[in-house]
Amino acid sequence: MNQDGPIACVPWFRVVAESPEWIVVSKAAPLIVHPSNGKSEPNLLQGIETLLCYEVANGMKAALINRLDRETSGLTLIAKTPTATRQLGRAMQRRQMHKEYTAIVYGHPAWEQTVCELPILRQGEVTETRIWLKQCIHPQGKKCRTEFRVLRRFTRNGEPFSIIRCIPLTGRTHQIRVHLATLGSPIVGDKIYGPSEDCYLEFIHKGWTSELETRLLLPRHALHACVLDFPFDEELIHTQDELSPDLEEFIAGADRE
């Protein structure tokens, strides 16, 4: 783990499933899915176009269908053709895609299964905030629904943690992270909704430091997109991914029972 330096981009992804019309890959974290703010850094779309350079040379234009945060790892769907882009885009708009995530959270929830339906909006719309993209629970927010199920409880260095399966039935910004934090089970490594938003501001100004490592335990939030099902040409495509190695390593450090 890096000490006192900025978090490094990990330009890595693995092909999970592919057809002539689309490709599903599992991306590492932290890796942005497309160029952002004019910055020159590795991104998933660039990697896909390099991988499929022959198809690109013959007119293919890759289009991201679902977009994961930089620090969220896991399954991402990319269309290869205009026809696939339209068809998969419609499926996304009609909520015909099924997505599941695995999260590692602080604590042992009192529930085994629960549903959170609290509405979310950008915090800056209703109150001052130092973080423009931060979301919050608010009655004026957009409707949200996330299902949660505890997969495992464990301790690490005497501290309680849980592995949670998360099923978002809507697609709001930071939905899973906000809902879990509101339920009292923030995601490990979350710089915005974890111990303090000061962690995010410190990270932006100083990069990853030993102090942040002590507070957050992981250099990115422990959220992984593990299931992605989508309809295509009257067929339901199922894709599944194992938990990313860094999160597996965190769990492997659990105390012996």
Active site residues per annotation: 69
d(CA 115, CA 248): 26
CA-based torsion, 35, 39, 43, 49: positive or negative: positive
d(CA 10, CA 40): 14
Give 24's strand partners.
17, 77
Give 27's strand partners.
13, 74
Q: DSSP character for 245?
A: H
Are the beta carbons of 237 and 254 closer than 8 angstroms? no
Are the beta carbons of 123 and 135 closer than 8 angstroms? yes
